[in-house]
């Protein structure tokens, strides 16, 4: 079992719709969770971080964390073509405070 798992996609959603990206992790002791966006040929850029169970909203983005079920998700409301990118879930596993373990990423395509 991979430490951090994501569906590779592509996930295709029409413009204006809600995109839902999911990530599961194997280490129950994980404490910090991050979502990064990566455009083709570019480096990852931080979208959100979340540390506590529940929802965290920032503009059109909402991160959801459920430690009991070991998943973290990212919702993108009012999806725009400029949101088309690969979304990377990153987790700090137990005892690896400053090391990010990444999922393989989900490619999102927002269609006109």
Partner 1 sequence: KAGVTQTPRYLIKTRGQQVTLSCSPISGHRSVSWYQQTPGQGLQFLFEYFSETQRNKGNFPGRFSGRQFSNSRSEMNVSTLELGDSALYLCASSVGRGQGDTQYFGPGTRLTVL
63 is a site residue for partner 1 (CB under 8 A): no
Region binding partner 1 by CB under 8 A among candidate stretches 20-28, 31-39, 60-68, 69-77: 31-39
99 touches partner 1 by CB under 8 A? yes
Rounded distance between C-alpha atoms, residue 104 and residue 112, angstroms: 26
Phi and psi based region of residue 69 (left: phi greater than 0; alpha: psi -120 to 50; beta: remaining) = alpha
The answer to the question of residue 22 lying near partner 1 (CB under 8 A) is no
Q: Is 100 in the site for partner 1 (CB under 8 A)?
A: yes
CA-closest candidate to residue 64, choices 36, 25, 22, 6: 22
Site residues, partner 1 (CB under 8 A): 31-32, 34, 36, 42-46, 49, 51, 88, 90, 92, 96-105
């Amino acid at each position: 079992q991979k430490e951090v798992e994501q569906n590779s996609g592509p996930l295709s959603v029409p413009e204006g719709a809600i995109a839902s990206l999911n990530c599961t992790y194997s280490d129950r002791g994980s404490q910090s969770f991050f979502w990064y966006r990566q455009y083709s040929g570019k480096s990852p850029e931080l979208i959100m971080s979340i540390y506590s169970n529940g929802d965290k909203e920032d503009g059109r983005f909402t991160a959801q964390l459920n430690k009991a079920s070991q998943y973290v998700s990212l919702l993108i409301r009012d999806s725009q073509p400029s949101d088309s990118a690969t979304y990377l879930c990153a987790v700090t596993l137990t005892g690896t405070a400053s090391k990010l373990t990444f999922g393989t990423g989900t490619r999102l395509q927002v269609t006109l």
